[in-house]
Copies of this chain bind each other. A is one copy, B any other.
Amino acid sequence: MKKQQVQEFNYLDQQPCFKLYLASKTVIQAYGPLLKSLGLTYPQYLVMVVLWETEPLAVKDLGARLHLDSGTLSPLLKKLQDKKFVEKDRSKDDERSVLISLTAAGRKLKEKAYGVQSDIRAGICLHDEKLKELTEMLDSFTEGFLNR
């Protein structure tokens, strides 16, 4: 009996946006256990990454860097504050603005974070060159939707 063509027309698997969504979820899950040893979630880690670069930083500027609004950042920053990784102070120049700065513990966490980054990099099954291509495509992908 002739083998029947069972190629299922798989609409979902032709959706690039689903693949993006899945890739993002999957890698964030991979970060999970690594970051847990630092006491951070992935979004909290992203905030720390930004602060390790530049500090202090207003909530507004943090949001601009991470594409997150105060609705997300306010409770998240409260958690980082409770963990004694960051401090909040009202700006003297502009009393509306809240400046986020690192505590000593928060600054120290950066060292441990290198290990997380290298673990994740090791898990990515793409050469440096391919990975660069990927990030460039992601950039133009994102930019296309942001500038509409």
Contacts and interface: CB of A to CB of B under 8 A. Distances in A.
Interface of A: 8-12, 15-31, 42, 46, 49-50, 52-53, 65-67, 117, 120, 123-126, 130-131, 133-135, 137-146, 148
Nearest to A148: B123
Contacts of A125: 140-141, 143-144
Given A17-B120, A19-B142, A22-B138, 10 more contacts: A12-B49, A12-B65, A16-B124, A17-B31, A19-B135, A20-B27, A21-B42, A22-B142, A133-B137, A137-B137
Contacts of A42: 21
Given A144-B124, A148-B123, A11 B53 contact: yes
Contact of A67 (B15, B25, B31, B130): B25
A27 B23 contact: no
A138 B20 contact: yes
A120 to B, nearest CB: 7
Copies of this chain held together in the complex: 2
B133 A23 contact: no
5 contacts: A9-B53, A17-B120, A21-B46, A22-B67, A26-B141
A92 B27 CA distance: 38
A26 B145 contact: yes
